[in-house]
Amino acid sequence: MYDESLGHCPECLSSVHETNDDGEECGGIYEPISVWIKDKGRPEIICRCQFCGALKTELIDHDDNPVTIMSVATKPLANPPFPIERLQELTDLMGGQGDMSGYYR
């Protein structure tokens, strides 16, 4: 269900990486990895090619599946890039207080 006008599939938010920056064919699949809003503008999907690792952004369209968008947006909360059980240790190593009490003062 890939839509050329969108640049990505409105259901899975994936697209085909046709050529890389050097103009060489890649053929990998761009997988949605995150969502962001740039400079108070429209939200965009951040995609990474599964084959070569290239990154790109695509504007979110009104036809895009909202459940898939929310799934992509919350992925970092479900699978953080660091071990949660070591959060206190990591905070201490960075010189922080290690708790939220100073944040709300």
CA pair distance 50, 1, nearest whole angstrom: 19
* pLDDT tens digits in sequence order for the chain, 105 residues long: 444 556 899 999 999 988 777 777 888 999 999 899 877 788 999 999 999 888 999 999 999 999 999 999 988 777 776 677 777 777 777 776 555 555 444
Please tell me the predicted confidence (pLDDT) of residue 23: 77
Asked whether residue 7 is domain-assigned, the answer is no
Total domain count, the chain? 1
Asked whether residue 52 is domain-assigned, the answer is yes
CA pair distance 65, 99, nearest whole angstrom: 37
Asked whether residue 3 is domain-assigned, the answer is no
User: Closest by alpha carbon to 38, among 55, 57, 53, 12?
Assistant: 57
Asked whether residue 26 is domain-assigned, the answer is yes
Please tell me the predicted confidence (pLDDT) of residue 92: 77
Give the residue numbers spanning the domain of 66: 15-80
**Token digits of residue 63:** 């036809």
Asked whether residue 102 is domain-assigned, the answer is no
